[in-house]
Structure formats: structure tokens, C-alpha cells
Amino acid sequence: MKSVSSAPGKVILFGEHFIVYGGKAVLCSINKRITVYSELTKDVKIEISSDLGSISIPVNKDIKSVYSVFRPIVFLAQKILRQFKSDSGVRITITSEIPAGIGLGSSSACCVAAASSILGLFSNPSKQEILDLAIDAERTIFKNTSGADSHVCTYGGIMEYSKNGIKKLDLKPSFKLVIANSKLTHTTAEVVAKVRRFKEKETDTFSVLCENESTLIEEALDSLKKDDVISLGQKMLVNQTHLQKIGVSNETLDSMLDLVKDASYGAKITGAGDGGCIIALVDNKNMDKALNILRSKYECFAANIDTVGVDNER
């Protein structure tokens, strides 16, 4: 028996960094997915094959000694095999439409898809069961994960996230996104620390920015509910100025945004910044123009908002 599940990647539309200091963020899943194929084996091993490499280890190997790239998936396999008192091994194959390490939720999507796929060998799990396991798996490498990425990868659609919880918004927007990869490497922890230093040095300025971002997000949520792409794009441009002021943009990202400004309704960085990706808000009228402009210099693709979330294809 083989169990096949997939989960979408995600972008942050609004609120990155400010969420750390009590604000809100708006996330959405995109129709680029990670797919995980699982099957039980007589050989009592956990075998994983992916674009990032392959491993074959005993089922009972100490999780702390597993290479971090594979640790969440090994954790899931071990926990689920124990849960169902299975004496089998498991073979896991991972394929991805989402580049790793550029802020599009590839690790969360992988955890969600793997939890669903491996659980699917034994049961018909609920999305909540899948989510709980995926967050536990993420914590093997990101101890303080908020679970926001896993949540949007599990349930799909557009979500409002704050420290008070996560709420899925009942929206079916008409807009699309063009996502371009700067190819600049960055470390989220280092960028977060950079913002913290800015906050400590420029306390009053940062406080005003937090207030402005909070107001902006409420306005953006209203634009989303109205499916007003022009207004939403303008809000994205304002959000980008906030991110520039706290120092998480850079010359390359700014030049990418400048390149696409006249071919989209608005654009901004998504995620930690100092690298990773930008997103440009488009619809069918200007999507090809935005793609062609960005493709002249950068790796990019168009994406729709995913409304499915995790999907088991048994």
C-alpha cells in the first residue's frame, strides 16, 4: 500500500517582523506543493529520498543524531510507527515544486505532507491531527516555531495570525502573485536579531512603525474582503516602506521591486528579508507583463492562492 499526500507552500502578505512585537500577520498558501509518497517495507528502516539527498537508517535511531534536513521526517515516521505498534519500516519519497530556504514555507509544507502521508498508511487522519504532528516535527529543528506556517499549509487559503491565535478567512480572491527569487541567502534568526537591534536603538520610531503596521493590516483585511486588488496593492507598497525602515530590505530586493512596480498593483518582500523572495500582486491583465519583466533578470513564477491545504491522494 502507498499513501500519497501533498501540501502547499505559503507567502506572508503583510506583517512579517512586526508580528514578533504583538502585531498581526496575514499569510496565504500558494498552489506550489510538496508531495510525499510513503509505503511500508519489510526492511525495518526509515528510507528517505528527496531533492536534498537520501538516507537509510534503523527505525530506532536516536533522533538527535539525525541530520537536521531529515530530522522532522524521521521524527514523524518513528512516532507514527510507534503509535500504530507497527514492526515495519517505511520508505518515503519527497518531491517539491517549492525551492527550499527562500521563505516559501517548504519545511512546513514538507512536515504537513509527510504527517498526512505516513498517517495515511494506517488511518484517515483529520487536518487537526496532521497539523499537531507537523508542528511537533518542526520543533525538532525550530524549537520556538509559532506553527503559523504549518497551519496555513494544512488548511490552505488566507489566514490572519496573531499571538491570540490563527483565523482562516472565508475569502476567494481573484488576484494572483508573481514570486521572484533574489537568490540571496539569509538566516531568519540573524534578520530577526537585526530588527531587535533597530527596535532597541530607535525605540520611538519602531513604536510608531508598529502602530502604522497595525492600522495598515486592518485596512488590508478590508481590501481583501472586498477583493479590491488596487487598494490591496497600495497597502503592499506601504508595508514595504515599513520593512525598508527597519532594515530588512536591501539594494537587490529594492531593485527587484522597482523593476516590477509598473507591471503590478504592488510588490513587497515576503518573509524575513535580506534575501529570499519578493511577491508582486497581479491579475490576468498584467500577470504576463510582470513575469516577463522579472524573468529578464531573476528566477520567477506565477502562483494562485491555494484553497485546499493538505490533500491525501489515496
- Model confidence pLDDT, tens digit, residues 228-283: 999 999 999 999 999 999 999 999 999 999 999 999 999 999 999 999 999 999 99
Domain containing 14 equals 2-171
Q: How confident is the model at residue 31 (pLDDT cuts 50, 70, 90)?
A: very high
Short-list 146, 148, 173, 137, CA closest to 12: 148
Go through 93-121 and write b for each residue having 16 or more CB atoms within 10 A of its CB, e for each that does not: bbebbbbeebbbbbbbbbbbbbbbbbbbb
d(CA 118, CA 37): 8
Question: Are 94 and 207 found together in one domain?
Answer: no
Judgement on whether residues 162 and 221 belong to the same structural domain of the protein: no
Alpha helices (runs of H) in 106-169, residue ranges in sequence order: 106-119, 127-138, 148-155
If phi > 0 it is left, if psi is from -120 to 50 it is alpha, else beta; for residue 230 that is alpha
Q: Is residue 311 part of a domain?
A: no
CA 206 – CA 160 distance, rounded (Å): 22
Burial class, 70, CB count within 10 angstroms (exposed 0-12 / middle 13-18 / buried 19+): buried
Question: Is the pLDDT confidence value at 94 over 80?
Answer: yes
Rounded to the nearest angstrom, the gap between the alpha carbon of residue 19 and the centroid of all alpha carbons in its chain is 15
Query: Is the predicted pLDDT of residue 76 greater than 70, yes or no?
Result: yes
Tell me whether residue 312 is in a domain: no
Judge whether 19 lies within some domain: yes
What cell was used for 307? Answer: 484553497
| Domain C-terminal end among 152, 171, 190 | 171
Same domain, 252 and 289: yes
Q: How many angstroms separate the Cα of 168 from the Cα of each of 2, 151, 164, 227, 239? A: 31, 9, 13, 16, 21
Average pLDDT over the chain, rounded to whole?
95
Same domain, 147 and 12: yes
What's this model's pTM, rounded to 2 decimal places?
A: 0.93
Pairing of strands 311-312, 266-270: unpaired
* CATH number for position 145: 3.30.230.10
Q: What is the pLDDT, as a whole number, of residue 130?
A: 98
Residue at grid coordinates 525598508:
244
Residue 314 has a pLDDT of 61
163 & 180 share domain: no
Q: Number of structural domains, the chain?
A: 2
Q: How many CB atoms lie within 10 A of CB 273?
A: 29
Q: Out of 45-49, 107-111, 141-145, 309-313, which region has the weakest mean confidence (pLDDT)?
A: 141-145
Same domain for 21 and 128, yes or no, is yes
